[in-house]
Structures are given as C-alpha cells and as structure tokens.
Structure 1
Amino acid sequence: MTDAKRLLKTTICAAALAFGLQGCATYADAGTVAASEPAFVPTGDGPALWKVADEDTTIYIFGTVHALPADIDWNSGLVAEAITSSQTLVTEVDMTPESMSALAPMVMSKAMLPEGQTLRGLMSDEQRAKYEAGLAQTGIPAEALDRFEPWFAAITVLQVTLQKAGVDGDNGVEKILEATVPEGTGRAALETAEYQIDIFDSLPLDKQVPYLIQSVENPDESVAMLGRIIEEWKVGDIDELAAMLQEGAETDPLLMERLFYVRNANWAGWIDERLDSPGTVFMAVGAGHLAGEKSVQDYLAERDIAITRIQ
C-alpha cells in the first residue's frame, strides 16, 4: 500500500472510529473487579460489546461508528438490554441538543484562518492543482472553503462525500442513542467538544494540508474504505479494525497518539474512578478505541481491571 493510501486510511479511520464530534463541519455551515472469563468468540451477530463490573457497578462499553447508513440495526439483543438496564449514558462528548446547538460558534472560532490568509494560499502549486481538481468532484466550490483551516476543510469534504453515499452522522450510534435512550437516563461525557476539535486544530499545517489533499483526491476510495469499516464493525470483527489502525500507526504515529492512545489511557482512568460509584452505565465510544494495541482494554489491564467481551 502506498503512503498516500495509508494516509487516507488513517484519516478515514479517525473520522469513523475515533472522532466523536458530530456535525462539526457541514458545507451549509461551511476497585476489586470480577475475574476474567474465557476468551470471547465473536458470533458475527452484531457489533462488539464489553462489560466491566464489580460487586455494585456495571459498565457496558460499546464500540460505535459515528456515521452510518440508515438501514443498519445495531440496537437489539444484548446491546438493547444493556441500554435499557443502564441509569447513565456516557459518550465521548455531550450529545444533548443543547450542547450541539452551541457547537457551531465554537468550531467556527477555531476553524477560520487568520485575516489575510487563504486555504489555497497555504498550498504549493502542485498541491493546489490537485486540490482544485479533486474538489470539483464533490461539487463544493473551492472559494467556499478558502477561509478555513485545512483540518476543517478535510472534515467538511469527507462529510459531504459520505452524505452523498448515504452515510450520515444523524444515523451514527451516538445520535440514535441520544434520541432513544429511556426517559430519565442520566448523561455524562468523557471529553469536551473543544478538546476534540483541538486535536485537529493543533496539528502542524504541514500535516493538515496533506490530509486535506488526500481527502479531496480520493472521494470514492473514502466511501469504499468506510464501507469496509462498517461491514467489519457490524459483525464485531475487532481484529480487522485493529489491522486498519495498525497501518495508520505506522504511517502517522503523532496523529494516532493524539486521536487514540492518550484518550484511551484517559478513558481507562475514568472507568477506574467510576467503579467506585454504584450503578449501571452504558458507555459508547468509537470502535477504534477498543481495537488493537494501546486500546482501552490494554490500559485497563495496566490498572488490573478485567474487561469481558459479551457480544
């Protein structure tokens, strides 16, 4: 696989499996823990679901994809039972409508380039030619993105491309959970939306621009790659998801560290602390955080906390 394709795969995996923020870019908006059980053998009947438990606390951990087609039934069986039995829904960021409505102004404050700079002005002549030719395939006028930083433009292009293919954040697991969990279910978030935005906003421009170029140059490949991710997720094939992420780790360790490893360690710490309080929790995070090396499970193991896969 070429470096360009690996770079694109890193970006798509990030968007589909790690990045919990929904609707951040649109064209229109331009203790003592239960002992481990025998290894789980996936049945292929649905996405992966884990459980961490002690004598008075149960934490279900569900790996999600943040943008999906409308016709995927994941909310059934053990997943549905776990949701119904939980008093609290935990997501990467606050997904309540009130929080989402306040998101756009914050994102725009970070996404705009300094006065006098333009997106295409950050590119070499060769990059600009590739960018403009690729962008023409999406139907987005190049001038519509000129005031934005490359990370925001890349997410926008990816989102528009996937929406045209019938893959939408409104069908993502977190959005559906927020709208359908039982009345009275509490809410908690692992991170702030601003923290997630800063993961991308703080990347050096010499990293951001290639991500953008690759997103624009290969729109059909982006759709095909996400389709593959969704198919593996639907049947709970964590090993295959881990293999995709490993390619990203080899190509861009900086992005993987920021998007996955640091956050996975933080979330393991959150789970450790939550076990001190009784109750049942349903935790929904991008499936990429639960696959491969330096996963949430690996960081839980470092804390001697057992996690059991139940679906």
Structure 2
Amino acid sequence: MQKFCYSLFLTLLAIGAWAQPASSAKYAPTAEENALLWEISGKDLQQPSYLYGTIHMIGKEDFFLTDATKQGLEKAQQIAFEIDMEDMMDFTKLMPLMMKAFMANDTTLSDLLTEEDYALVKEHFEAVGLPLMFLERIKPMFLSALGGEDMFNMGSGEESQVVSYEMELMQMAQQRKLPIEGLETAEFQMSMFDSIPYTVQAQMLVESIKSGDTGDGQFAQMVELYKNQDLQGMQAMMADEASGIGGYEDLLLVRRNRNWIPVMGKMMVLKPTFFAVGAGHLGGDEGVVALLREAGYVVKPLK
C-alpha cells in the first residue's frame, strides 16, 4: 500500500515531465541562461521570489542543492510545489485519489492489448514482484510509473537509493515551519489522465517497457544534464521522449503552465515564495520562465 502511494505521488509529478520544443521566442531562456534556479522580481513585488526546476527522482549520490538555492529557500516565507506535498503524504487524502487510479466500466489491461503485448507487460511486472492479476484494472499511465524498479523502491526506508527533490525540499520547509502550497490540486492532475484514451495509455505503457533496455542510460544522461544545470539539454532530451504522448502536450504541459502564472502572481504578492516544479516546465516559449516574463516580471537565472 505504501509503495503504491509513493508511486501515485510520483506519477502525478511526472505528468509534466515532458518539455515543449526549444524556441527562439524573445521571452524564452537562452543557452547562456541555463540554470535551475531563477529569481522573480519586478511588477508588483516588494521582495523577490524564486523558481526552481526539479528532477523528480535522483540517486542519493547525485542529489545536490547549490548555495544559491539554499539561500533562496532561506529568504522565502512559503514554498509551493505543483501539488500540495503535505496532502500527498496524508493517506486519508490519498485514498479517494487511489480509487481514481482504476479504469471505468470494468475495463482491463487485457482488453486494450494484443496477446503479445500483454505477455510482455505481464513478464515485466512479475520481474519487479508485481503479479499483473492484481493490476488489471489500473490505468496504464499509473502502471508506467508503478513498474519502474527505481519508482517501486521509492519510500522503502533506509534501503532506498533514490530520493525525490520534492520530498527533500518539503522536509527542509517543514523544519523552518514554512507554509506549503500547491499550484494545482491532485484531483485536477488526476482528471488529465481521463482525457487520454485508455488505448493510448496502454500503448505508451508498452513502448516504455520496450525502451526499458536503454532507460538506465537515458536516466543517467538526464541526471548529468541536470547536475550541469543544462536546461536546454534537458529540454531537448525530454522533447525527444515526449513523442509518445502524441497530441497531448498542450493538455499535459502548456495549459498547466499558463494556469500557474496568475496563481504564482497572487502568492508572490502576499509573501516571497519558493516555487519548485519539474524542470521540464521551465524552458521554451510556453515555459514558466517565458510566461512570467511575458506577464511583466523580471526573471533572471542564478547559479
């Protein structure tokens, strides 16, 4: 149960892990502006706020926070994630969300896949200790997260070698007793899954398993780009991986970015805020950096 909850939590975060194509629009970050941390000032702000791009999972040995990031968090009077992280740690609030992880109308995975693809998926999940008979009715996009070995080991206590930036930042905020907010609700994020047909989700699951042989290398490459704060490189790599989501980029990323800007504006006026969202949301002409600049804020990179 606990591992399923961690998987649900990370699946919701991963919704926005795909980046839009790089752009030369005047508000988009340039190659010289590669950074994970950004200072937001100007317009109607009395004090600056900060925007930080996370990678949702990373090995303990690769986890880092720059001095500038720690200082930004120290200056903040509240922290905001894509969703309220404290809610995601409350099992009583997670239970209704977990029920929404199941497909409607008694649809099962075997209804959506060929015999060959079903056998592939079955073998994959059994290899990580998850008999498929218990997962038949779970939406394929959740299975994509649940089936990853690193994801499955998340939250296993001292044995876990994988950490979450969101979890680490939340704990730092809790130590300072900072208010913790969300830019959108988990219910809203869950609703986006239902906008993607089960058949499309099932094919995405199959493709993710088939590409699993190269997954470790791709993840290592992404981590290196992240450690180098290479926003452009990460954006290009995530855009490459986004080919599997077809015409759903606008739903999963662009519209969400635009929805966040007025929410961020209201938070920043009230008190200096440290925003932590997936790095895939930052770059491009429809990324959060560009949209904040378009809205009249001064947004500059900090390293």
The TM-score normalised by the length of structure 2 is 0.79
2-structure distance, mates of 1:297, 1:247: 21
More deviation in 201-210 or 212-221?
212-221
Aligned-pair CA distance for 1:170: 6.7
Aligned-pair CA distance for 1:231: 1.5
Paired position in structure 2 for 1:74: 64
Is 2:213 aligned against 1:214?
Answer: no
More deviation in 113-122 or 297-306?
113-122
Paired position in structure 1 for 2:166: 174
Look up the SS of the partner of 1:111 in the other structure. Answer: coil
Is 2:265 aligned against 1:266?
Answer: no
2-structure distance, mates of 1:50, 1:168: 30
Percent of paired sites with the same residue? 24
Cα deviations by residue, 1:136-158 (Å, 9 ceiling, x for unpaired): 44342221211312122222113
Is 2:277 aligned against 1:285?
Answer: yes
Paired position in structure 2 for 1:235: 228
1-structure distance, mates of 2:180, 2:242: 32
Paired position in structure 1 for 2:7: none
Aligned-pair CA distance for 1:193: 1.0
| Matching residue within 129, 133, 138 for 1:143 | 133
Conserved 8 A contact 1:151-1:212: yes
1-structure distance, mates of 2:246, 2:214: 22
More deviation in 92-101 or 223-232?
92-101
1-structure distance, mates of 2:15, 2:224: 12
Aligned-pair CA distance for 1:250: 5.3
Aligned-pair CA distance for 1:188: 1.5
> Can you give the 5+ residue segments of structure 1 that lack an aligned partner in the other structure?
1-11, 20-35
2-structure distance, mates of 1:102, 1:302: 40
1-structure distance, mates of 2:246, 2:105: 32
Look up the SS of the partner of 2:85 in the other structure. Answer: coil
Say what the alpha-carbon RMSD is for the aligned residues: 3.1
Paired position in structure 2 for 1:101: 91
Paired position in structure 2 for 1:30: none
Paired position in structure 1 for 2:22: none
Is 2:54 aligned against 1:64?
Answer: yes
Aligned AA (2:163): N
- Check 1:185–1:275 CA distance in 2 against 1; reply closer, same or farther (3 A cut): closer
1-structure distance, mates of 2:93, 2:204: 23
Is 2:294 aligned against 1:302?
Answer: yes
1-structure distance, mates of 2:31, 2:72: 18
2-structure distance, mates of 1:255, 1:128: 24
Paired position in structure 1 for 2:177: 184
> Can you give the 5+ residue segments of structure 2 that lack an aligned partner in the other structure?
1-10, 19-26
Aligned-pair CA distance for 1:70: 1.4
2-structure distance, mates of 1:169, 1:192: 29
Paired position in structure 1 for 2:238: 245
